Structure 1
Amino acid sequence: MTYSTMMVTLSCDHTNACQLGIAAELAERFEARVIGIAASDISPPLYFTSGDQAERLLEHGLAAIRQRLGEVEAEFRQAMGGHARELQWRSAIDQPAKYIVQQARAADIVISRAAGPLTDPFALADPADLVMQIGRPLLVVPDDNCRVDLSSVLVAWKDNPEARRAIVNALPLLRQASHVTVVEIVEHDGSRADALAGVHDVVDWLSRHHIHATGEVPAPAGDVARQLDTVATQVRAGIVVAGAYGHSRFREWILGGVTQHLIEQTARCALLAR
C-alpha cells in the first residue's frame, strides 16, 4: 500500500505555503502524482440582490474568483515543480467543501490547511466537514508547520472502527517514520487492562507490516485531548494519527472532543480518518 495520488486543497483567501511544502515533500517520498484543488463561491447576500447593479456585482465577483483561481493554480505548479511524478489541477466556482468531497474520489490521501472555528464555507473548506465526508484519510496541516516531520509519529488508539481505519490508512506514513508510538488514554469508565491488551495487539499488528512501534497506556484516566498532547510532546511527534469523531460531531462541538482539538491545535500535523 502506498499513496500514489495525493490531493492538496488550496485556498483563494489564505496562505497555502505549508500544505504545498508538505505535499511536495510527501510527493517525493512516495513518487506520487499530486492533484491541486481549489474552489470558491460568491457569498449568499449577492444572490438576494436584484436589478442591474446586482448583476454587475455578481459578474465582477465571479471574474475576481476566476482570476484568483488562476493565480492559485500558478502558485501550485510553481511550488510542486520537480517534486511530483505528475501534476493535475482542478478548480471550480463552488463551495470548497462540496467540490473537494466530490473530487476526493481521485486521491489516496487529501492534504488540507487547518481552519479556525469561524471558517467561511464559501471561501475555505473546514477540515471537520471534509473528514466527515471524503472517505479518504485527511492530513490536516497547521499554518506554521511547513515540513514533514516523520522522526516520530503518534497513533492515538481507541478500539473503534474509526481508529482501525485511520491506522490502516496511515500505513504508508508509518513505514516512513523513524519511531512510532501507539497510545491509548483510558476514559473514566474504561479499563486500563483492556487498553493495555488492545495496544499490545496493535503494536504486534504493526510489526507484521514491518513497522517497529512501542505502546503506552498512561495511568491517569480521562482528559484525553490534554493527555494526548502531553504524550505527543514527550515523544516529539510530528504527526498524530487518529480516528475522527467516535462520538457525533455535534456532541464533540458542544462538549469538546479529541477530533476538534486535533483539527484546531497548531503544534503538529494530524492524519484523521472516519
Structure 2
Amino acid sequence: MTYATVMVSLALDQPNDARLQVAGELAERFEAALVGVAAAKFASPLYFTDGAAAQRLIDQEEASVKRCLADLEAEFRAATRTRGGRAEWRSATDFPARFVLAQARCADIVVSGGESPAFSDAFSLVSPKDLVMQAGRPLLAVPDKVRWLDLRSVLVAWKHTPEARRAVATALPLLRKAKDVAIVEIPEAGDDRPAAMARVSDVAAWLARHGVTATARVPDAAGDETAAVQLERVAGDVGAGLIVAGAYGHSRFRELILGGVTQYLVTQSARCVLLAH
C-alpha cells in the first residue's frame, strides 16, 4: 500500500503554509500526485435589499469570492513550483464541505489544517471533523505551527474499535517510514490492564509482519484524568511528531457535547494527526 495521490484542502482567511508544506513533503516521499482544492460561497445577509442594489451586492460578493479562490490557487502554485511531480488545482464557488468531500474520490489521503475551538464558517472552510467523518479517506490534520512532517517518532493511539483498526491500516505507508513507533492504549476506569496489553501487543505483532517495528505499552490508570490528557502526556514522553488514531470511537454527539480524544486531536497545535473513521 502507498499513497499515489495526496489532496490538500486550502481555506479562506486561514494560514495555509503548514498544510501546503506537509502535503508537498508527503507527495515527494511517495512520488505521488498533489491535488489542491478549495471552495467558497457568498453568504447572503439575513436582512437583504432587492432590485438593482441587491444584484450589485451579489455580483460584488461573488467576484470577491472568485478573487479569493484565485489567490488560493496562486498560493498553491507557488508552494508546488519548486517540487517535482504532478500538481493539479481544483476550485469552485460552492459550499466547501460539499465540494472538497466530492473531490476526495481522487485521493488516497487528505491533508487539511487543524481546527481552532472558535466557530467555523461553513461558507468559507470545511471542518476537519466533517472531512474525517464523510470523506472515506484518512485525514492528516496539520496544525498551523507545524512546519514539517516529523516521522522520527509516531504514536498510535489504540482503542478496541473499527475506527482504530482502519486508522492504523491506512497509516501503514507512514509507519513504514517512521524511525520509532509506539502503540499505546489508554485504559479507562475498570479496564483489564493485561487484556489491554494483549491487544496492543497483537497490533505490534501485526505491524511487524508488515515491516514496521513497534513497541507496545499501556500506562497505569491515571485517576480522574481524561484520556486526552493522558494521551498528550504519552505523546510528549515519546516525542511524537505524528499521532495515528481512530476518529469518534464514541458517538460524535457525545464527543461534541462532552469533549473527547477526537475533539482534542483536531484542536491541539503541537503535532500532526492522522485520523480515520
Please classify the TM superposition score into its range, dividing by the shorter chain length: over 0.9
**TM-score, reference length from structure 2:** 0.96
Could you say what secondary structure the match of 1:264 adopts? coil
Could you say what secondary structure the match of 1:136 adopts? coil
> How well do the aligned residues superpose, as a CA RMSD in angstroms?
1.3
CA contact (8 A) 2:41 2:65 kept: yes
Could you say what secondary structure the match of 1:45 adopts? coil
* Percentage of identical aligned residues: 54
1:262 is matched with which residue?
265
Q: Residues of 2 paired with 1:83 and 1:188: CA distance?
A: 49
Deviating 4+ runs (over 4 angstroms):
46-49
Q: Residues of 2 paired with 1:136 and 1:89: CA distance?
A: 19
Q: Residues of 2 paired with 1:129 and 1:267: CA distance?
A: 21
2:39 is matched with which residue?
39
Could you say what secondary structure the match of 2:248 adopts? coil
Q: Residues of 2 paired with 1:236 and 1:153: CA distance?
A: 8
Q: Residues of 1 paired with 2:47 and 2:26: CA distance?
A: 41
CA contact (8 A) 2:189 2:221 kept: no
Could you say what secondary structure the match of 1:119 adopts? coil
Residues 1:80 and 1:47: Cα distance change in structure 2 (over 3 Å): farther
Q: Write the letter of the residue equivalent to 1:8.
A: V
After the TM superposition, which of the residue ranges 261-270 and 84-93 deviates more from structure 2? 84-93
Q: Are 2:28 and 1:28 equivalent residues in the alignment?
A: yes
Q: Are 2:152 and 1:147 equivalent residues in the alignment?
A: no
How many residues align? The count is 274
CA contact (8 A) 1:27 1:83 kept: no
| Counterpart mapping for 1:221-260 below 5 A | 221=222, 223-260=226-263
Q: Residues of 1 paired with 2:108 and 2:47: CA distance?
A: 36
Per the TM alignment, residue 173 of structure 1 is displaced from its structure 2 partner at its CA by 0.5
2:54 is matched with which residue?
54
Q: Are 2:196 and 1:183 equivalent residues in the alignment?
A: no
CA contact (8 A) 1:112 1:139 kept: yes
Q: Write the letter of the residue equivalent to 1:247.
A: H
Q: Residues of 2 paired with 1:12 and 1:204: CA distance?
A: 43
1:105 is matched with which residue?
105
Q: Write the letter of the residue equivalent to 1:272.
A: L
Could you say what secondary structure the match of 2:188 adopts? coil
Per the TM alignment, residue 49 of structure 1 is displaced from its structure 2 partner at its CA by 4.2
1:211-260 residue CA offsets vs partner (Å, 9 max, x unmatched) = 00001100115621011000000000001000000111110011110000
**TM-score, reference length from structure 1:** 0.97
1:163 is matched with which residue?
164
Per the TM alignment, residue 11 of structure 1 is displaced from its structure 2 partner at its CA by 1.3
Q: Residues of 2 paired with 1:188 and 1:49: CA distance?
A: 58
Could you say what secondary structure the match of 2:269 adopts? coil
Q: Residues of 2 paired with 1:10 and 1:48: CA distance?
A: 30
Runs of at least 5 residues in structure 2 that lack an aligned partner in the other structure: none
| Counterpart mapping for 1:204-215 below 5 A | 204-215=205-216
1:216 is matched with which residue?
217
CA contact (8 A) 1:46 1:58 kept: no
CA contact (8 A) 1:35 1:89 kept: yes
Residues 1:49 and 1:137: Cα distance change in structure 2 (over 3 Å): farther
Residues 1:272 and 1:84: Cα distance change in structure 2 (over 3 Å): farther
After the TM superposition, which of the residue ranges 215-224 and 93-102 deviates more from structure 2? 215-224
Per the TM alignment, residue 5 of structure 1 is displaced from its structure 2 partner at its CA by 0.0
Per the TM alignment, residue 51 of structure 1 is displaced from its structure 2 partner at its CA by 2.2
